[in-house]
Structure 1
Amino acid sequence: MVKVGIIGGTGYTGSELLRLLSRHPRVTIGAITSRAEAGRNVADLFPSLRGRCDLTFTDPEGEGVFAGCDVVMSATPNGIAMTHAPRLLAEGVRVIDIAADFRIRDIAVWEQWYGMKHACPGLVAEAVYGLPERHRAAIRKARLVANPGCYPTAVQLGFLPLVENGLVDLSSLMASAVSGTSGAGRGAHVPMLFAEAAESVKAYAVGGHRHQPEIAQGLAQMAGQPVEFVFVPHLVPMIRGIHATLYARLKDPSVDVQALYETRYRDEPFVDVLPAGGHPETRTVRGTNLCRIAVHRPKGTDKVVVLSAIDNLTKGASGQAVQNLNLMCGFAETEGLDEIALFP
C-alpha cells in the first residue's frame, strides 16, 4: 500500500481525488489539508463521501502532517504547491502538482501568465510533465510531476499523432474548445452563477488564455520546433466536461488519418479513438479518465478536423493525477480508474 497526502482538499479537484483514491485498492489517504476547514470532517463538507472517507481536514502547516506519506498530491490554486514542494522532496516524498506551478519550462513566461514570482524555479527543470501518452517512462522515475491542465490535455492528445509525425503545417494549428463551469473552480464568481451561465454560450480569454503557453510548449516539444497556435476557449452551461475541436492543414492529403490515430493510441488505456465518422460527447466520458477522439476530413480540402472530449475534473485533472501516481508507484496504470461514464 502507498500512503498519499492531499494538500488542498476542498475544491473540485480535491473532492475528485478523494472520490478516486477512497476506492483505490493500493492507496491509503494519510492526510488531507485545508486552512479554512481545519478540524472539520471531510464527509461533512462532501456528503457523497459518507462511509468512504473518515478523515478530518488538517492545517497544511501543522507539525508532521504528511509524516509517513510516500506521495503528496497538491490540489491547490496556482502558486501554492511551489511553496511546499522543496521541503517535501527534501524529506523524500514524491510530489504531484495538479495546478500549474511546474508545467511551463520558461520561468519568465510562467511569471508573465500567472502574475507572481516563482518560489522555486530550480525545480521546474526537474519536473516531469505528466501526460502519460507522451512521457510515461519519465513519469515512472519522477520525484516531481506537473499534472497537465484540462484544456492542454484535450488539445495535446487530439493533435499528438499529427504533430509528432510531422504531417501538418505547424502554422495552421487552431483549437476551439468548450468547458463546463467546474473548470473555473469552486470559488464564488459572478459569471459562474446559474443565472449568468445557464442558457448561454460565450468565448472568453480570446486574446490569451493561460493554458495557451502550456499547449504551445507541448506541441513544440512534439514537433521539435516552434509552432503557431490559436486557442479560443468557451464557457457552456454544463458542470463537467471539455470538448475541443482542432483544425490543421495536412502536408499530404492522402494520409490515412483514421489509421494513424488508431495505430498511435491502440495500446493507450485511456484514449479511445472512435470509428470513422464518430462524434465524441462529453456525457460519454463524464466521471471517467477517458479521452475520446474522432478524426474527420472535410471534403474537397487539405484540412483535418479532430474532436477530443474529456471530463475536465478526471482526465483533465485528478484522474490523470491518479494515473501518474500509478505509474510512479509501479501499479497497473488503470488501478482505481476503471469507472464507466454515468448515463444519462
Structure 2
Amino acid sequence: MIKAGIIGASGYTGGELLRLLVNHPDVELELATSRSLAGKPVASTHRHLEGFLGLKYENPEPEEIRERCDVVFVAVPHGTAMNYVPQLLDGSTKVVDLSADYRLETSVFEKVYGIKHIDPRNTVYGLVELHPEAAKEDLVANPGCFPTGANLAAAPLAAAGLIDVAVFDSKTGISGAGIAPSETSHYPNLAENIIPYKLTAHRHRAEIFQELNRLDPNLRNISFTPHVIPTVRGILTTAHLFTKEPLSTGDVQALYEEFYRDRPFVRLPGGVPSLAAVRGSNFCDIGFEADKENNRVVVLSAIDNLVKGASGQAVQNMNLMFGMKEIRGLWLPAAAP
C-alpha cells in the first residue's frame, strides 16, 4: 500500500483529496496536517468523511512527514510550498504540489506572483493529457484549475499549429476561491449574479500561455478573463479560437478525436458540455462548433474545479508516478443531478 500524506488538509482541496484517497484501492492515508487544527478529528471539519476516516490533524515537521509517507500532496497557498518541498524530496518520497510554486519557469513565477523563489528547479507540469512524462518524476506541479479547462479545450488545435488568436472566457464556481469566506463569496453578493474579475491580468494566464506556446511557439496572442458564478463547483470555459484557415465542425471533430484517443478522462459527448455531467468526477467534457465565416472555432470545456481542476488530477498524477493506470481510484461517474 502507498502511504499518503496531505499538507494543508483542512481546505476544499485537502478535503477532496481525502475523499478520493480514502477509497483508493492502493492507498493508505497516513496523515493530514493543519497547524491550527492539530489534534482535532479530520471529520470534524470535513463532515462528509464521518465514518470513513479516523485520522486526526497533525502538525509534524517535514522530516517526519517524509519518513512516514511514500507520497505527499502539498495543498498550501502559493509561496508556501517551496518551503516544504525541498525537505520532502529524498529520492524515495514523491510529491505532488497543488500550489503554483513549481508550475512556471522561475523568472515567470517571480514576475507573476511577486515572490522570490527559494527553490528553483525544473519540474514537469502535471497536466497528464499533455505531459505523460510526469510518470517518471518525483515532483510534479499540479496545474491550476482554469488552465486545465482552457488548455484541454485548445490543445489539439494549438498542436496542429492552427490557432492565430485564442480568447478564453471561464465561469467558475465559488469553491475555487477557497474555504475562507470573502466579500465575493458572501451569499447576497453572489446569488443571482456573475462577477468578472482580473479582466486582463489573472495569474493563470501565464500557465495557459506556457502550455499553448509550448505546443505552438508561434502562438502568442492569448487572452483570458474569469468570472465567478453562483454555483459551488465547476468551470465552464468558452474558448474563441480564431484559426489560420477555415475549418468545419467535422474537421475539428476528427482532430480532437485523434488527439484525445488514448486519454480516458477527456470526453467528447457532442453538443454543449454540462457542469452537471462532470460534477464530482475527474472528467473534462469538450464540445465545439466551427464558424467558417469568421475562421473561428468555439470550443467549450467543462470540469469540476476541485477534481480534474485540482485533487483528482493530483491523484491521476500520483497513479502514474507509482506505475499504475491513471484511472485507478478515479473511474467514477459524476454526481447527477
List runs of 5+ in structure 1 lacking aligned partners. Answer: none
- TM-superposed CA distance for 1:66, in Å, is 3.9
Contact 1:265 1:273 in 2 (8 A): no
- TM-superposed CA distance for 1:109, in Å, is 2.2
Give the alignment's Cα RMSD to 1 decimal: 1.4
Q: Of 159, 164, 184, which residue of structure 1 is paired with 2:154? A: 159
The answer to whether residue 212 in structure 2 is matched with residue 219 in structure 1 is: yes
Contact 2:168 2:238 in 1 (8 A): yes
CA distance in 2, matches of 1:100, 1:108: 13
Partner residue of 2:14?
Answer: 14
Q: Of 304, 308, 327, which residue of structure 2 is paired with 1:311? A: 304
- TM-superposed CA distance for 1:254, in Å, is 4.0
Alignment-mate amino acid for residue 285 of structure 1: V
Partner residue of 2:221?
Answer: 228
Identify the range of structure 1 (222-231 vs 142-151) with the bigger mean alpha-carbon deviation: 222-231
Alignment-mate amino acid for residue 109 of structure 1: V
Contact 2:72 2:93 in 1 (8 A): yes
**1:7-39, CA deviations, whole angstroms, 9 ceiling, x for partnerless residues?**
000100000000000000000111110001111
CA distance in 2, matches of 1:285, 1:18: 19
What stretches of structure 1 move > 6 A for 4+ residues in a row? none
Partner residue of 1:334?
Answer: 327
CA distance in 1, matches of 2:262, 2:206: 29
List runs of 5+ in structure 2 lacking aligned partners. Answer: none
Aligned-pair identity (%) = 46
Identify the range of structure 1 (49-58 vs 285-294) with the bigger mean alpha-carbon deviation: 49-58
CA distance in 2, matches of 1:93, 1:112: 30
Contact 1:129 1:148 in 2 (8 A): yes
- TM-superposed CA distance for 1:63, in Å, is 6.3
Q: Of 251, 254, 276, which residue of structure 2 is paired with 1:283? A: 276
CA distance in 2, matches of 1:251, 1:142: 36
SS for the counterpart of 1:332 is: coil
Partner residue of 1:111?
Answer: 110
The answer to whether residue 250 in structure 2 is matched with residue 250 in structure 1 is: no
SS for the counterpart of 1:133 is: coil
Count of equivalent residues: 335
- TM-superposed CA distance for 1:232, in Å, is 0.6
Partner residue of 1:42?
Answer: 42
| TM-score normalised by length of structure 1 | 0.94
Contact 1:34 1:60 in 2 (8 A): no
CA distance in 1, matches of 2:107, 2:162: 31
Contact 1:7 1:60 in 2 (8 A): no
Q: 1:82 to 1:62 in 2, by over 3 A?
A: closer
Q: Of 94, 106, 125, which residue of structure 2 is paired with 1:129? A: 125
CA distance in 2, matches of 1:157, 1:65: 34
